[in-house]
Amino acid sequence: MTPTPDHVARFTLDPAFTVGEVNPRLFGSFVEHLGRCVYTGVFEPGHPSADEAGLRTDVLDLVRELGVTAIRYPGGNFVSGYRWEDSVGPVEDRPRRLDLAWRSTETNRFGLSEFMAFLKKVGPEAEPMMAVNLGTRGVAEALELQEYANHPGGTALSDLRVAHGDKEPFGIRLWCLGNEMDGPWQTGHKTAEEYGRLAAETARAMRQMDPGLELVACGSSSQAMPTFAAWEAKVLEETYDLVDHISLHAYYEEKDGDRDSFLASAVDMESFIENVVATCDHIGARLKSKKKINLSFDEWNVWYQSRFEAEAAENPLDWPEAPRLLEDSYSVTDAVVFGSLLIALLRHADRVTVACLAQLVNVIAPIMTEPGGPAWRQTTFHPFAQAARHGRGEVLDVRVDSPTYRTAVHGDVPLLQATAVRDPRTGAVTVFAVNRSQDRPLPLRVALGGMDLGEIVEHTVLSDADPDARNTLDEPDRVTPHPGEGAVLAGSALSVTLEPLSWTMIRLA
C-alpha cells in the first residue's frame, strides 16, 4: 500500500451543506431462522439467563447496547419456504418442517408471537420488518398473515390471534415483498417480469386492507448479478406507485489475500447505492412521477461466503436443527471494513432510509453466544453501537481530499473514508473516520465552517497492533475501542492523526 506524497487528508464541515436526515431505521438488523441465530441465539429456554419466555437476557442486554432499530424477520432465503401459520398457536401443536434454504429442520418453537415479544423487550425503537413468502406462496397467504397480525378483531384470523393469546394487533407497518427473487438459489426464483407482476398484485391487495403500509420490493441481491439494473427497472415499472422502497443486498470478504481491495469495499457499496438511485429515478422520470423511491439496504455485512460455500460442498447438511452455520469470527481488519460500510450508508442517508445488518446473533453477527454459556461482542459490535448511538441527526456533506492508494479491484482509492453527523438541536457534531492504510498513520485536518464547536467530548479508536486480532469465547474483550490521543480543536479547525487500519469516532460539542 503506497500512499501519494502529500500524506494529509482534509475535509470541511458546514451546517449549510447537508446530505439528509438520518432515519433511525438505518441502524436495523436481521433475525432469520438460519443456523443458531434464533435457537441458542436469542432464544434458549433452560439457559441460566433465560426469562420466562425463553429469551436470553444476556443477549437482550447486548442487543439493547448495540442499539438496533428495525429488525427484519423471518428471512432471508428461509422466507421463500415459510408457512406463517406453522409459527403461531400452541407450541406443542406446531409442525416440524424441512427448510430447503439452509437444509435444516425448523421446529417452529419460536414464531411470530415470540418474535414480537422479543421486540418489545428490546425497547421502543425496535420495530418489525416482516417478510412475506413470494417464493412458494403468494397474494392470498400475504393477506392472511396481514389480517392475523394487524387486524384488531372480529374476523376469523384476527380472532385466531386473540385466541392464541395476543389480544392487541401487532401493528406491523414495514413489509418486504419476498426475498432475493432474482437469485437462482431462491426457492421459487422468478424472472423480473414474473416477480414484478406478483409483487404489484401483492402490494395492491395489502394496501386494500391498509393503505398506510410501507412496502419494500426486491431489488438485485448483488450488483454483480447479470440482471442487475435491468431487474430493478422492470420490477419498478410494475410496482413504482405501489411500493416505497427497493432492496439492496451486499456482502464483502477478503479474497486471495488482497487486503488492500477488501479495505476499499465501501467503494463498491457506494457505487451500488448510486446506481440503484439512478435506476429508480430513471423509471420515475419515464413514468412522469414526482415520487421518489427510497432504498432499503436490508442485508449488508462482512461475510466469508466463499469459505461457507466450500464447506457446504464438502459436507452437505442432513437436516439438523439449528446447526452452526456462517459463524464467522471477525478481526480488527473486518471491523474497519465494517465501519467503512456504515459510513457509506450514512453518506447516502437522503435515499437509504432502511438498512439491516445481517444478522443479529451468531450468524455473521456482532453478538456471539455459546449454548448454556456466555454471550460476547465481536469486533464489529463496536462501530455499529457507536454509530447507532451518536450517528443521529443531519449528515453533513463531507467531500474528502485524501491521499490515495492503488487497489487491484477498485483502482485508486482514498485512504480516508469519513462522514459527520450534526445534532440540529444542540449543534454537536460526531465525526466517523476510517484510515485504510495498513501501516501508516494518516494526519487529518477538518475545517469547521460556520459552527461554534469548542470541546472534544469523546475520541475513541478501534485498532490493534495485530490486524487479525479478534474477540473469542476465551478472550471476549481482546479488541475494544480505546481512548484516542492527540486530537486538537483550535479555532475553526480539528486536527488529529488517525492510527493505521483504524475506525475513529470524535464527538464535538
For residues 280 and 416, state if they share a domain.
Answer: no
pLDDT digits (tens, 9 = 90+) for 210-232: 999 999 999 999 999 999 999 99
275 touches 219 (CB < 8 A): no
Distance CA 259, CA 248 (A): 24
- As a whole number, the mean pLDDT across the chain is 97
- Beta strand spans in 237-366 (E): 245-252, 294-302, 352-357
For residues 363 and 411, state if they share a domain.
Answer: no
User: Which residues, 6+ apart, have CB-to-CB distance to 82 below 8 Å?
Assistant: 74, 75, 131, 133
Number of H helices, E strands in the chain: 11, 25
Q: Which residue in 32, 147, 254, 299 is the catalytic one?
A: 299
CA torsion, ordered 228, 231, 234, 240, to nearest 10 deg: -90
331 touches 469 (CB < 8 A): yes
312 part of a folded domain? no
Last residue of a domain, one of 371, 406, 430: 371
pLDDT at 313: 87
Which DSSP string corresponds to 85-143?
GGGSS-GGGPPPEEETTTTEEE--SS-HHHHHHHHHHH-TT-EEEEEE--SS--HHHHH
For residues 233 and 359, state if they share a domain.
Answer: yes
Residue 188's domain comprises 32-257+275-300+355-371
pLDDT at 9: 97
Residue 403: closest CA among 393, 394, 388, 414: 414
CATH code for position 428: 2.60.40.1180
482 part of a folded domain? yes
Is 194 assigned a catalytic role?
Answer: no
Helices marked H in 103-253: 112-122, 139-150, 156-163, 192-209, 230-239
pLDDT at 4: 44
Which amino acid appears at position 119 of this protein? L
pLDDT exceeds cutoff 90 at 184: yes
pLDDT exceeds cutoff 70 at 100: yes
Q: pLDDT tier at 6 (50, 70, 90 boundaries)?
A: low
Query: How open is the CA angle 345-231-172, to the nearest 5 degrees?
Result: 60
Q: Which residue in 141, 180, 232, 238 is the catalytic one?
A: 180
SS3 content of the chain, % helix, strand, coil (to 5): 30, 25, 45
Which is it for strands 174-177 and 127-132: parallel, antiparallel or unpaired? parallel
246 part of a folded domain? yes
For residues 290 and 433, state if they share a domain.
Answer: no
Considering its fold, how many domains does the chain have in total?
2
For residues 205 and 150, state if they share a domain.
Answer: yes
Look up residue 341 and give its three cell numbers: 460500510
Backbone angles phi, psi at 258, to 5 degrees: -90, 80
For residues 87 and 233, state if they share a domain.
Answer: yes
Look up residue 433 and give its three cell numbers: 473516520
Three-state DSSP state, 411: strand
Place of cell 451518536: 390
For residues 75 and 165, state if they share a domain.
Answer: yes
Place of cell 433452560: 46
pTM for this predicted structure: 0.96
Last residue of a domain, one of 371, 406, 423: 371
346 part of a folded domain? no
Distance CA 180, CA 106 (A): 21
* Overall average pLDDT of the 55-64 stretch: 98
* Overall average pLDDT of the 24-30 stretch: 98
pLDDT digits (tens, 9 = 90+) for 327-339: 999 999 999 999 9
Three-state DSSP state, 152: coil
321 part of a folded domain? no
Distance CA 246, CA 167 (A): 33
CATH code for position 223: 3.20.20.80
pLDDT exceeds cutoff 80 at 505: yes
Is 125 assigned a catalytic role?
Answer: no
For residues 246 and 365, state if they share a domain.
Answer: yes
309 part of a folded domain? no
Residue 132: closest CA among 196, 232, 203: 203
For residues 424 and 483, state if they share a domain.
Answer: yes
128 part of a folded domain? yes
331 part of a folded domain? no
Return the percentage of the chain with pLDDT > 90, whole number. Answer: 95
Helices marked H in 287-374: 305-314, 332-347
For residues 367 and 406, state if they share a domain.
Answer: no
For residues 288 and 173, state if they share a domain.
Answer: yes
For residues 367 and 422, state if they share a domain.
Answer: no
Distance CA 386, CA 432 (A): 9
pLDDT at 247: 98
Look up residue 422 and give its three cell numbers: 450534526
pLDDT at 315: 87
pLDDT digits (tens, 9 = 90+) for 423-441: 999 999 999 999 999 999 9
